[in-house]
Copies of this chain bind each other. A is one copy, B any other.
């Protein structure tokens, strides 16, 4: 019975996420209710709230896995702090974004359409940064160094991601763009 539950829950999550994504794309985020999402997935509203907490969260369900991969990559490398964070984001680019540009673009256009979703995205990025900074401190780095390396790395990722995802954006892979933008940041701050 427990095994059945464990198997059933990921399926329900996946169906609700897919239903939410479709409906947000078709009707817009504000025009979609949790009742609509549950109905499209053939589940009830209570199941949605139990698994996601709120409507926004359906668009951010991969964020825990992404954080795990990033933290592991940052923890395991011997590189200097800023380089470690950049390398971590390049790993994330390869595992979560490579080959998914179309879906990522649609998702981003949904987020860009709603201040509520933008707030949630910022909070997720903030939580990611907290985890990366903690991983750097666990390597013995001081608070300021850990935070500066983390936030500079997040900046590099955000700029590279914005270039990659923009309609008619760069053809380069996200991982390559991250390396390129990191070089540009070095140039700007060393002036």
Contacts and interface: CB of A to CB of B under 8 A. Distances in A.
Interface of A: 80-83, 115, 118-120, 122-123, 126, 144-145, 147-149, 151-152, 155-156, 158-159, 162-163, 181, 184-186, 188-191
Contacts of A163: 144
Number of copies: 2
Contacts of A118: 123, 126
Contact of A188 (B152, B158, B181): B152
A96 to B, nearest CB: 21
Contacts of A181: 144, 148
Contact of A82 (B80, B158, B188): B188
A159 B188 contact: no
A162 to B, nearest CB: 8
A63 to B, nearest CB: 15
